[in-house]
Structure 1
Amino acid sequence: MRRYAAHDWRSDATNLLIISPTGGGKTYLACALAIGACESEHSVLYYRMDDLARKLVIARGDAIAHQKLLNELSNVDLLIIDDFLTVGIDSDAGNDLFAILANREHRLPTMIASQTGPAHWVAELPDRVAADSIVNRLANNARIIKLGQIDMRQQRNDQARAQKGYWE
Structure 2
Amino acid sequence: RADPTNLLIISPTGGGKTYLACAIGIAACHTEHSVHYTRMDDLARQLVIARGDGIGHQNMLNKLSDVDLLIIDDFLTVGIDPNAASDLFSILANRDHRLPTIIVSQSGPAYWVEALPDRIAADSTVNRLASQARTLNLGEVDMRRLRSDQAKTTKGYWE
Q: CA deviation at 1:111?
A: 0.4
Q: CA deviation at 1:11?
A: 1.4
Q: CA deviation at 1:112?
A: 0.3
TM-score (norm 2): 0.98
Match of 2:22 in 1: 31
Match of 1:93 in 2: 84
Render the CA deviation track for 1:43-93: whole Å, top value 9, x for unaligned. 000000001001101111111110010000000000000010011101000
Number of matched pairs: 159
**Structure 1 residue runs without a partner (length 5+):** 1-9
Q: 2:110 aligns with which of 85, 96, 119?
A: 119
Q: 1:137 aligns with which of 100, 108, 128?
A: 128
Match of 2:51 in 1: 60
Percent identity between the aligned chains? 73
Q: CA deviation at 1:127?
A: 0.6
Q: CA RMSD in A?
A: 0.6
Match of 1:17 in 2: 8
**Structure 2 residue runs without a partner (length 5+):** none
Match of 1:42 in 2: 33
Amino acid at match of 2:80: I
Residue 137 of structure 1 aligns to a residue whose secondary structure is helix
Amino acid at match of 1:42: H
Moved >2 Å (runs of 4+): none
